[in-house]
Chains A and B, each alone.
Chain A
């Protein structure tokens, strides 16, 4: 399995809907098709004083699944009020169900005086495209850059960050050093695994990210024409290890166009399925690096190149026909794939 595709078993989301329809939706969701990544940011906490020292937590949601967005969330409050935050219900680290998470976001939103938060929603398309660039831009790099961007924007909006806590999947030490170098004004940076269970501010950020992701996935708008009303939404958990998810992938693959934009087509799972059941594509670039020039390129004209036809053509057009063998066209024209038209 791709290192990118860790399925964090304790957190397998059950998207079987436990949330009653008609519940309020988080403001960080979207009502249009998610093609381009976007950021949602709350206003500054209303009681925040200029230069008041703040604490900030970072967490993500949806790194492992093969469907839907990956969301990075930050949440911050004044340093002096961090206990108040913990008391709101972020001290516990137990695994939460979807509706419990949703309720906790409501709790956060009920305190615009105290808490500010922001999420960056990375579209499946952007994730896949980054990972498939020739200059590899992997998920870790994407994760770091997104986190850095969110922290920077928070500072730029006027928040005096003094302590930052980041949940990480990879090795904490090097990432922590990197952040310390980038943000000398932040006096304490802690990068840790399972930070959401250790630090309430990270737990809060985790809620912002997860609820946002849940919402985007639940209310996914398919940009592909004509499938919105017919396509199944029984994705399962969205993890590649979930048989329900794999079954959904199998039955929603188009042999030419692959998958709808909800799917991260850079995931190994998808590549395997496409290779097995999709139509094979021949890429001109692959041909070029290992082969003969095309016969048609040599002669610059259409039609068979076998000698019987040449002889016949020479007789038929003997008045002007060249006595010698056809010369190859200049390399440039061959490269451009241009040849003279005969039939039309």
Chain B
């Protein structure tokens, strides 16, 4: 019984939404950058990422880059649904979190704090490293 109970506690406390490999592009103060990462949802139900915030930028928005006939364009997206037992990749040339008008320089190897907001999982703190790409 005790084992069962502790297993149950373990299960309910284990993170069901995991954000991994978060990284940011270097950019100067006043310029723009992007945040990339993977979101893994090991819940039995989908969850929705609807906001990301950070103190380093005046504006933080979710975007998707689409390329048609050699023309690259960004579209703002309101939210991203992560299906159950799936991983969604935010990567260059695709989904990204855009950091608009940086309040300071983002230099390689610095760590930047973010808060991710999910409909079910709530707030999740994420630290991302600035990588020279």
**A interacts with B:** no
Using a CB–CB distance below 8 Å, which chain A residues touch chain B? none
